[in-house]
Structure 1
Amino acid sequence: MLAAVSVFVAACGGGGEDTASVRVKSASSDAPVIATQPANASVLTGGTATFTVSATGTGLGYQWKKNGVAIPSATSEAYTTPAVSYVDHGALYTVEVSSTAGSVTSTAAQLTLALSANQQAFESTILAPAAGSHFLHWNLPYAGTPTSGTHYAYSDFAVIPASPLTNGPQLSAQSAPSNIASTLALLTPGPTRVLKNGAILVVPAPNVSNKVSYVGSDVRVDTIASDNVTVAYAEIRSNYETVALTGTLAATPDDVARFHNSFFSNPAILDTTRSYAAGAGYLKFTQTNSGDRYNAFDCTTATTGAAVTPCRTGTTLNNVLTTGISSTSDGVTYRLADGVVGTVGGVSVWVANNPRPRSATLSSTVQYRIYFQLNGNVYTGALIKDGTVLGGSYYVSNPNGATVNDRLTFLPFDIRLNKAAHDSLVAAMKI
């Protein structure tokens, strides 16, 4: 007979967890979370923009990027750009926030350059497809009939193809002169000559070329020498006003009438019963010299090139001024002690201590007589210092005044006409 066999099945286990009690681990609570995203920014040319982010988490680090490229040292909650220019318009800024538990990237904030009120006014007449910013040039008598060959009146205008705000500096060439006086010959003033970097530069007249850019809320205009490359001098334009012209020319605002003095003072020039065309208007603005500007003048025979005529040949500045040199236009004999000798661009230049008389400059622009030594000769000219407000015109405020200063009032602003205003004046010309 067989014996009974008992089989015992034992459950054994180590110290393992029951599968029913396994917990699923979640992401760490220390991973960064962005609470406030960077905001878009709009600034003027030359300004700065600050982008900020707010995030939660432990041990956070930051890395700002411009258009996807990491910005060196931009590793905090806020980032301030350097001074911005047209190349920065539309740039996208993001920040990556990281910790040991992970990282997250913000949404993109866009940088936009903004036009100031000055720049908007400037573009209103000169930016294509606008018909241009028009300027009148004239030598006309205060009263009586103008004489051809002595008197003249012409205009020119400028247009820029694109906004400097987002396209960078724009070249603006003045148009060819247009004679607006049918009874007078077309005469144009001579060029401007400037002493710069040891040489005399020529700025042609007419057809001046300017390079226009934006600086903060203002407009910068660099005037280009005849080589079409070198900046001869520069100015900043600000304080723009845009003014409409309506009604008859007889009701022209004082700013325009006085700026264009003889056109409105002499009844032989304009028919002031004519009316301004629809849309006529003008811009009034202030021009400020940017950088010291050393104009060079002919001392004797008039020339038009870089070879201005000297006051003395084969001598030195010290010798000439020790003896004294007379300026007939200023009505002054200048001597060494009346000014200071310095070096400008490698050239020895004497600058008078006192400004030239307004009777000589016929402008509110403050100028200082200069004499300079170049290639063994002594030449003359005038210094317009950096920051000087440039005069635009003058009018006869007191015809019976005993002196020029008594008779004239000098205007510290400039004016440009839009095409409708320009054409209205031209249509009313009686000469």
Structure 2
Amino acid sequence: MVFNRLQSAAIVAAVSVFVTACGGGGTTESDTRASKASVSASDATSSAPSITTQPADAAVLTDGTPTFTVVASGDNLAYQWRKNGVDIPGATAASYQAPPASYTDHGAQFSVVVSNADGSVTSGAAQLTLQLSPNQAVFESQLLSPGTGSYFLHWKLNSGATQTSGANYAFSDFAVLGASPLTSGPQTTSQQGTQNMTRTLALVPQAPTRVLRNGAVVVVSGTNRISYVGADVRVDSMATDGTTVAISEIRSEYTTIPLTGALSASSADFAHFHDVFFTNASVMDTTRSYADGASYTTFKQTNKSDRYNVFDCYAATTDANVSACRTSTTLTAAMTAGIVSNSDGTTYKLADGAIRTVDGVSVWVATNPRPVSATMSSTVQYRVYFERNGNVYTGALVKDGAVLGGGAYLSNPNGATVADRYTFLPFDVRMNKAARDSLAAAMKL
């Protein structure tokens, strides 16, 4: 067949269009690179880390150990937890258990970076919040500012006879907590606002509390440092130097009880704790009524670490220079000869106990507890004698973990012994201002 020149050009153009449309001539190098890049990007996106469950906020008591967990997808994942944006050494698992939380950790932010060879992703931040225990909430309800404070009564009143000014007395004082130890850290309180509960009895200076601490006799100041331990309240009574912890105790089992109606209808615990106020008709008019809002709290006190109380042996003193039982002698010699304790009704000898060393001081500790007729408390105490500077002094040991008694009431006046006549209470009591003012208004003295 013969084609003219115009027909040949049309055929060539048609063939060219067909080859281009069908990919004739093979895929170009630029097309191949673009295709591979697209596949690689897809693979990288699919294997990079992805968080499916974010770490959750946590709320714990003081000393709690919260755990934060993240759930992520991806191959060969690595984890790095952060606290407030700073890496936590060793926190490289999907879960992180924080150390015991203190007030400085309140509001802390915990996040985690999840990574692998293809990328990384940072989680949202989980917040740590400290919370009050029921014990601590009750404790703060009465004591924490701007509340009026926690009141305590001090008294020495006869149960049946008349009262003598200068020998008998009744007064109150109180303490206020400036801020919560939960988030503000340890707080300092002092008993203050001493008020005479009577009109006829003079205030009487109180004998100091002294303890053997760090090898020396120290005087307890009346200033307390309050902190929280788990669900409980720790109270450190400070020495007069302001830095030495003289006495430590843990307070727990706080309960608030309202006081309403006539004073005579007070709960047994409250009336028994303030025994003579309610049982001696010449002390207080119990037909009077409580003011609105009156209440009190009860709590348990447990001694923390061994406490060596120090007493005068003969002459009464008011500072750290307590009077000795024996002078210019050794503890072993004095105990071998024996020392009479009139309050305990016992002559203590070396074989009745054992000598130990406490902070460099030789201390003899009795094997058997002191009689309750001497302590007038349910607190178990052990007579001690100790040697310092060539003299021998006396005191009493309250062991670590001992439950501290809160006084006693005359439950059986006809009992043959003190233990028979009195019931000793294993709890302590504080009251609010409305309750204190109610009792003061009812006083007859």
Deviation of 1:150 after TM superposition, in Å, equals: 1.0
SS of the aligned residue for 2:47 comes to: coil
Q: What residue in structure 1 maps to residue 286 of structure 2?
A: 272
* Residue 438 of structure 2 is aligned to residue 424 of structure 1: yes
Q: What residue in structure 2 maps to residue 254 of structure 1?
A: 268
* 222, 227, 230: which one aligns with 1:213: 227
**Which digits, 9 at most, give the CA deviation of each residue in 1:315-363, with x for residues without a partner?**
0000011111111100111111110101001000000000000000000
Q: What residue in structure 2 maps to residue 393 of structure 1?
A: 407
CA distance, structure 1, for counterparts of residue 184 and residue 157 of structure 2 = 40
* Residue 344 of structure 2 is aligned to residue 330 of structure 1: yes
**Which digits, 9 at most, give the CA deviation of each residue in 1:59-85, with x for residues without a partner?**
000000000000000000000011110
Q: What residue in structure 2 maps to residue 112 of structure 1?
A: 129
Q: What residue in structure 2 maps to residue 164 of structure 1?
A: 181
Q: What residue in structure 2 maps to residue 384 of structure 1?
A: 398
TM-score by length of 1: 0.95
Q: What residue in structure 1 maps to residue 367 of structure 2?
A: 353
- Change in CA separation of 1:367 and 1:15 when aligned onto 2, cut-off 3 Å: same
SS of the aligned residue for 1:28 comes to: helix
Q: What residue in structure 2 maps to residue 130 of structure 1?
A: 147
**Which digits, 9 at most, give the CA deviation of each residue in 1:111-132, with x for residues without a partner?**
0001000000000011000000
Q: What residue in structure 2 maps to residue 230 of structure 1?
A: 244
SS of the aligned residue for 2:292 comes to: coil
- Change in CA separation of 1:66 and 1:21 when aligned onto 2, cut-off 3 Å: closer
CA distance, structure 1, for counterparts of residue 54 and residue 156 of structure 2 = 62
**Which digits, 9 at most, give the CA deviation of each residue in 1:376-426, with x for residues without a partner?**
100000000000000011000011112111111100100000111111111
Does the 8 Å contact 1:135/1:156 carry over to 2?
Answer: yes
Deviation of 1:13 after TM superposition, in Å, equals: 6.7
Sequence identity of aligned pairs in percent? 61
CA distance, structure 2, for counterparts of residue 193 and residue 390 of structure 1 = 17
Deviation of 1:144 after TM superposition, in Å, equals: 3.1
CA distance, structure 2, for counterparts of residue 182 and residue 413 of structure 1 = 30
Q: What residue in structure 2 maps to residue 75 of structure 1?
A: 92
Does the 8 Å contact 1:259/1:393 carry over to 2?
Answer: yes
- Change in CA separation of 1:20 and 1:307 when aligned onto 2, cut-off 3 Å: closer
CA distance, structure 2, for counterparts of residue 312 and residue 77 of structure 1 = 67
SS of the aligned residue for 1:223 comes to: strand
CA distance, structure 2, for counterparts of residue 100 and residue 399 of structure 1 = 84
Amino acid aligned to 1:258 = H
* 14, 37, 50: which one aligns with 2:67: 50
* Residue 53 of structure 2 is aligned to residue 36 of structure 1: yes
* Residue 74 of structure 2 is aligned to residue 60 of structure 1: no
SS of the aligned residue for 2:324 comes to: coil
Amino acid aligned to 1:381 = G
* Residue 258 of structure 2 is aligned to residue 244 of structure 1: yes
Amino acid aligned to 2:229 = V
* 424, 436, 440: which one aligns with 1:410: 424
SS of the aligned residue for 1:250 comes to: helix
CA distance, structure 2, for counterparts of residue 353 and residue 48 of structure 1 = 40
TM-score by length of 2: 0.92
* Residue 172 of structure 2 is aligned to residue 155 of structure 1: yes
Amino acid aligned to 2:308 = Y
Deviation of 1:22 after TM superposition, in Å, equals: 4.4
- Change in CA separation of 1:263 and 1:30 when aligned onto 2, cut-off 3 Å: same
* Residue 380 of structure 2 is aligned to residue 366 of structure 1: yes
Amino acid aligned to 1:81 = A
- Change in CA separation of 1:49 and 1:21 when aligned onto 2, cut-off 3 Å: closer
**Which digits, 9 at most, give the CA deviation of each residue in 1:131-175, with x for residues without a partner?**
000000000111232111110000000001100000000000110
* 263, 276, 288: which one aligns with 2:302: 288
CA distance, structure 1, for counterparts of residue 30 and residue 174 of structure 2 = 91
CA distance, structure 1, for counterparts of residue 401 and residue 164 of structure 2 = 38
Deviation of 1:18 after TM superposition, in Å, equals: 7.1
Q: What residue in structure 2 maps to residue 144 of structure 1?
A: 161
Deviation of 1:94 after TM superposition, in Å, equals: 0.1
Alignment coverage as a number of residue pairs = 424
Q: What residue in structure 2 maps to residue 339 of structure 1?
A: 353
CA distance, structure 1, for counterparts of residue 298 and residue 266 of structure 2 = 14
Looking at secondary structure, tell me which structure has more helix per residue: 2
CA distance, structure 2, for counterparts of residue 154 and residue 16 of structure 1 = 103
SS of the aligned residue for 2:45 comes to: coil
Q: What residue in structure 2 maps to residue 16 of structure 1?
A: 28
Regions of 4+ moved over 4 Å: 6-15, 17-22
* Residue 114 of structure 2 is aligned to residue 97 of structure 1: yes
CA distance, structure 1, for counterparts of residue 424 and residue 104 of structure 2 = 41
Could you tell me which runs of 5 or more consecutive residues in structure 1 were left unpaired when the two chains were aligned.
none
Deviation of 1:188 after TM superposition, in Å, equals: 3.3
CA distance, structure 2, for counterparts of residue 271 and residue 325 of structure 1 = 46
**Which digits, 9 at most, give the CA deviation of each residue in 1:230-253, with x for residues without a partner?**
110100000111110000001010
CA distance, structure 1, for counterparts of residue 148 and residue 98 of structure 2 = 37
CA-based RMSD of the aligned residues comes to: 1.9
Amino acid aligned to 2:69 = T
CA distance, structure 2, for counterparts of residue 304 and residue 325 of structure 1 = 23
* 180, 203, 206: which one aligns with 1:189: 206
Structure index of larger Rg: 2
SS of the aligned residue for 1:312 comes to: coil
CA distance, structure 2, for counterparts of residue 44 and residue 103 of structure 1 = 34
Does the 8 Å contact 1:144/1:268 carry over to 2?
Answer: no
Deviation of 1:294 after TM superposition, in Å, equals: 0.3
- Change in CA separation of 1:377 and 1:20 when aligned onto 2, cut-off 3 Å: closer
CA distance, structure 2, for counterparts of residue 307 and residue 176 of structure 1 = 28
Does the 8 Å contact 1:249/1:273 carry over to 2?
Answer: yes
CA distance, structure 2, for counterparts of residue 214 and residue 384 of structure 1 = 22
SS of the aligned residue for 1:275 comes to: coil
Amino acid aligned to 2:364 = W
Amino acid aligned to 2:211 = V
Amino acid aligned to 1:375 = N
